[in-house]
Amino acid sequence: RFTPASHPLLYRILNRKQRTGFVVDQPMLNVYKTLIEEKSQIFQHNNKLLSKQERAGLSIEAHAVLKTAEYIDQNEFYHSYDFDFRGRIYPCSGFLHEQGADHAKSLIRLAEKTPLGEDGYSWLLFAAATLWGADKLPINDRIDYAEDHLSDWLDYAFSPLSNRGWIDADKPWSFLSVIKEILKVR
């Protein structure tokens, strides 16, 4: 049982998270919406072991994420959080949060922008390589891997609807989101 008196640090963290604003990434939302309208395979699970009902559930989730993002539009929004019995923090809201499905996470950004800093660009490259599938490589090797593939990846970011190679990533939506960020700072 957690109380503010018994675990003040946990409650400070929880309250700070609840004061963290998010916004919908409109360019990512445009890609997302277009691919849903096209009934793209990106929304069809390629695991043949899924039942028809499970595949339908994934489709319903994808549409719920879209409707939520469209409803929020360009407004800043916040999440309510709760603890589980171990003290782990989870968002109470459904669909469009930082612990959600890959496609949902890719649609949100922190409302308060911060500079990349000295190593920020390298961490973007690291994230891109990790999301692509090079997650077993050491840190510096992932950064090198990203640099070696960056020209192809930036083509995906520049025209994600016509150049859909990004769909081959392990986490395609988050990957596209990161490479679009890399494109902004190059």
Torsion of CA 10, 104, 124, 171, to 10 degrees: 120
| Residue 179 structure tokens | 């490479």
**What confidence tens digit (pLDDT) does each residue in 108-131 have?**
999 999 999 999 999 999 999 999
- Flag whether pLDDT at 45 surpasses 70: no
CB neighbourhood size of 19 (10 A): 7
pTM here is 0.90
Sequence-separated (6 or more) residues with CB below 8 Å from residue 68: 94, 95, 96
Report the b/e string of 37-59 with b at 16+ CB within 10 A. Answer: eeeeebbeeeeeeeeeeeeeeee
**What confidence tens digit (pLDDT) does each residue in 63-79 have?**
999 999 999 999 999 99
Evaluate whether 137 touches 129 at the Cβ level (below 8 Å): yes
Q: How far apart are CA 159 and CA 85, in angstroms?
A: 45
Task: Say which range, 6-20, 40-54, 57-71, has the weakest mean pLDDT.
Answer: 40-54
pLDDT, residue 55, reads: 78
Q: How far apart are CA 111 and CA 19, in angstroms?
A: 11
55 or 176: whose pLDDT is higher?
Answer: 176
